Structures are given as structure tokens and as C-alpha cells.
Amino acid sequence: MSQKLALLLLLLLSIHSALALRICSFNVRSFGDSKQEDQNAMDVIVKVIKRCDIILLMEIKDSNNRICPVLMEKLNGNSRRGITYNYVISSRLGRNIYKEQYAFLYKEKLVSVKKSYHYHDYQDGDVDVFSREPFVVWFQSPHTAVKDFVIIPLHTTPETSVKEIDELVDVYVDVKHRWKAENFIFMGDFNAGCSYVPKKAWKNIRLRTDPRFVWLIGDQEDTTVKRSTKCAYDRIVLRGQEIISSVVPKSNSVFDFQKAYKLTEEEVRLPSCLSMPLSKDELAWAT
């Protein structure tokens, strides 16, 4: 993991012909005290967040629960046009003493949280598959063509990626049992490529073999910053005819914010500096 930086993913859900709802997935590697105290790192993180209307942050390592309140201060302190962010955050998840959190930051003017819950990994025969159980959030957005959608985040452990990705189907079934939701977005750092998920393993992943789950990031994409690595670790997967049929064909693109923010590869890798994804894939929803 120390040699890999995850992807920032962006989805666009149309509000009308001129505006779109931006939904992002962002693994800020080891987002704890050192990054919080690094002003340059926080400035870049805030810039990235401001590109999005909803953003999933992963790998938050914050035992004092200070990171999201600090981000709120930075995002809302000089808010223009009345744009304010709010957030919803998971409990600290993980085995033994190593813990992480998922958090969703979102613009209150555009979306709200309808419901949320932690998936409980207690199925007979495959207990405790997830290193960090998904924190499932049901969003509603009165301004978009797709009025509500569930986001299921996942940050896998590389060595167990195949089983964890496969288990997302069970999460989907559980959500459907609880809620009358129809539109689903699975997103995050799946470690879904190269040696972690070799070609022969895809046949064992129900999320992949079931054609009703539509994968938007191809296996040949490079979602890493390391020049010697080309792996599609980070993914977006959709389920639900309404949300799938709204995707604008050929709307993905890549934004290299290492280049945009003039960050060197060495600066990004330093533990005391910003360790974050350096590209994103963008998709647009039709009106």
C-alpha cells in the first residue's frame, strides 16, 4: 500500500442542462494528524473536495474525531453563494488496533442524507469478510433526474480483494431488504487490479459476473500515480436501470491534479505531505 495511491473518481448527475451533481471517491492515504497539521496538504484536500457535491473520503485515521469538523471550518468559513457542506461519518472500522473511517461530505443545498447504516458482516460461513464493512448511505436529491441513490463504499485489504468485492452483492441484497431503493453506486478503492485481482479471479466475483452490475472503470485504466504501475485499483459500479440508462456515452475523462496543483511525485509520497490519488474518472448523467 505504501507504493500505491488511490484514485479520485467523479460522477456527474445532471440537475438541468447547465449544471451537474458531482459525486467523488477519494482515498486520502493515512488521513490522520500529520496531514491535518500540514497546511499545504489540507489546502490541496480542500481544493479537491470543492470540486465535488458529494465526496467519499477513505482511510481516515482520526481517533479524536477532529478531521471532519476541521474540514467543515475550512469549507464553510468563507462560503460563497450560501454553499455549505455537511458530513456523515462511519464509526472506526477495522480489525485489532488498526482502524479507518469512511466519510461523506456533501453540499446541503443540493443533496441530503435520507438514511444510513453500517453493514453487519455476520453471514453464516463467511463471517468477517470485510476489513472495513461498508457504511451505506441513501442520498436524496430533488434537483436531479435520479431523485435518490444509495452509495456503498469499499476500501479493501489488497490480499482479500477478490472475496471483499464479491461480498458486495450480499451488501446489495441486505440494502434491498431494508430499503425500497432502486439506484446504487458502488465505489472506492477496491484494489481491483494487477496481482490483487488477477484475470482468472474475475469469474469468482459475482459483482462482475452478474450483468446487472455495470462497471464503469475498465480493467485497462490506470488509477495509480506511480509511473511503473498501471492498475485499475479504483472502481465505480452501478446497479439500477434508471441510473444506468442515464449515463452519457463516452463521458469519462482523466483529471491529473498532481499536474494541476503542481505537485511533484516525491512531494506526494512524503508521509508528512499529501499522499493522495492523482487522477479521476468523470462520467455524466443525462437530463
End-to-end CA distance of the chain: 39
Q: How far is CA 33 from the centre of its chain?
A: 21
Question: How large is the C-alpha radius of gyration of the chain?
Answer: 18
At 249, which amino acid appears?
P
Give 118-185 as a DSSP string. EPP---TTSTT--SS--EEEEEE-TTSSS-EEEEEEEE--GGGHHHHHHHHHHHHHHHHHH-----EE
Which active-site residues does the annotation give? 100, 155
What's the length of the chain?
287
Let me know: does 229 contact 4? Beta carbons within 8 Å. Answer: yes
Continuous segment of H or E residues that includes residue 112: strand 112-118
Q: To 5 degrees, how large is the angle CA 187–CA 192–CA 197?
A: 155
Contacts of 101 (CB under 8 A, 6+ apart): 60, 61, 62, 89, 90, 91, 92, 93
Distance between CA atoms of residues 37 and 212, nearest Å: 44
